[in-house]
Amino acid sequence: MVPPYKLDEVIERAEHGPICTESDFDLKILVPNLKRVIKEYDIVYDPNNVIPNDDSLAKSAFEAAFDLYLNTGTYCTTSHRRILFTEEEIKEALALLPGEFEVGYGRDKRKMRARKIEDENPPFCLFGPMGQACSEEIYIQLTMGYMKDPLADGISSPALDRINKIAIKVRGPSEVMGSVAHTMLVKEAARRIGRPGIFTISVATAPTDAAQIAASHPQWGKWVTDGGFVGALAELKVDYDLLRKMLHFHHYGQFVSALTGPLLGGYCGGPEGTAIIAIAYHLQGLLVHQAHFQASFPMHMIQSCTTTREVLWATNLASQSVALNTSIITFAKGKAAAGPCTEMVLYESAAHGLTAVSGANMYVMGAARNKYKDRFTPVEPRMACEVAYAVCKSKMKRSDANEIVKGILKKYEDKISEHTLLLLDKHRRQSSLN
């Protein structure tokens, strides 16, 4: 299947599917179904196997997620309707996937493909700070820093904080002005560095559909060889804003990525539920977002990072499950607790890079929990991707990767809460100065 696929049916179901309240969807449909499949398919978290080495577990997790999504669907918060698909429709969509696409253009064109568990081919490496705010004065230089890395197959650029010293506000005129400037600055950075055709995805300055449309232009803006993210609402939800954004990307001709981050500690519950919903999001991305690939970032609700032991287990299990049972192109998106230029952020980046052994492509690497302006560098993604490349080049097995990641976790996991408080304190002091 090359998306879009039955776009009109998705919209029709968003407007005329079974009606229910959001609280009923959460508490009477999603949570009971999730608890049922965890028990029925015997999904059990093992803290000693951060990178699971059991194909039967990956198969059971996929069956659980398939069951969950079939009986839960996606909730549209705008229309208060459930978007449901039949078992035959889900299987047909999975069967028609091509498993690879070419993105970017010219000598910067790269092949993005679905990977397998313990794949010896290196992952597609998408560099970027994942939408963290960046000062206008250093925007081009920082973006060039990411683009010049030879491991960078594509770029997810930072968000502009201000434009012409005007603060950018969501849904305000400044958002449109900022999104246009954002795109032009990214293209200028690509030309300066000598990579004009590099794949770029996301205009993080433009969270709304109107601003994304403003940033799409075949000459100075986003091109059809670029991509766009369409997010989701926790958990398994969308709204009309997201659906309009999705429709624009498809009609304009860009590649679409479903961007989903199930929250460990929320409706997902523990690591078992987080892994299952992360897999179910891949089905939602395929059927509702009509996505060409998936960017998945299971995240700790309290620590707001992807590098805790429980989250790494969920990420690796979800990646293995998707890689073993589908041809969906999946990316593991990393978000570190520590700030840049610290020893801990390199350990976290290395731990995330090891998910390459589970069949994930790399979307790396946010620092300082993706929360603070200018607190990121190109070093973090370089570390994660060097580890991912080493995993493939050495033909590393999951059991070996598991021993390595457990050793890495010993160096930082007890410091995650400490870094949360440290970053909050620095942010408060900086805010008081401003």
pLDDT in tens, 351-365: 999 999 999 999 999
Report CA 196 to chain centroid distance, whole Å: 24
DSSP letters for 358-396: GT-EEEEEE-GGG-STT---THHHHHHHHHHHHHHHTT-
Report the pLDDT averaged over residues 259-267. Answer: 96
Backbone angles phi and psi of 118, in degrees to 5: 55, 35
Structure-token match 């499949």, residue found:
37
CA 191/CA 208 separation, integer angstroms: 27
User: Does the structure show a pLDDT above 50 at 278?
Assistant: yes
CA 112/CA 127 separation, integer angstroms: 14
Report the pLDDT averaged over residues 81-94. Answer: 96
pLDDT in tens, 93-150: 999 999 999 999 999 999 999 999 999 999 999 999 877 899 999 999 999 999 999 9
DSSP annotation of 405 reads H
Residue 53, Cβ neighbours under 10 Å: how many?
Answer: 19
Residue 235: is the preceding peptide bond cis (ω within 30°)? Answer: yes
Domains of the chain: 100-433 (3.20.20.460)
**How far lies 363's CA from each of 157, 210, 217, 348, in Å?**
12, 26, 25, 14
Amino acid at 23: S
CA 41/CA 54 separation, integer angstroms: 14
Backbone angles phi and psi of 234, in degrees to 5: -75, 135
Which among 183, 159, 156 is positioned nearest to 168, based on CA atoms?
Answer: 159
Helices 309-325, 271-287: inter-axial angle, 10-degree rounding: 40
SS3 239: coil
Contact 214, 206 (CB under 8 A): yes
User: Does the structure show a pLDDT above 50 at 2?
Assistant: yes
Q: What is the pLDDT of residue 202?
A: 85
Query: Which ranges in 256-397 belong to alpha helices (H)?
Result: 271-287, 309-325, 343-353, 379-393
- Name the E strands within 48-179: 74-76, 81-83, 100-103, 110-113, 125-127, 133-134, 154-155, 159-160, 162-163, 166-167
Report the pLDDT averaged over residues 332-343. Answer: 94
CA 320/CA 317 separation, integer angstroms: 5
- Encoded tokens for 8: 């009109």
Structure-token match 């998707």, residue found:
322
Counting Cα atoms < 13 Å in the Cβ hemisphere of 79 gives 22
Q: What is the pLDDT of residue 210?
A: 93
Report the pLDDT averaged over residues 310-319. Answer: 98
- Encoded tokens for 390: 């080493």
Amino acid at 70: L
pLDDT in tens, 16-71: 999 999 999 999 999 999 999 999 999 999 999 999 999 999 999 999 999 999 99
Residue 92, Cβ neighbours under 10 Å: how many?
Answer: 14
User: Does the structure show a pLDDT above 90 at 429?
Assistant: no
pLDDT in tens, 162-172: 999 899 999 99
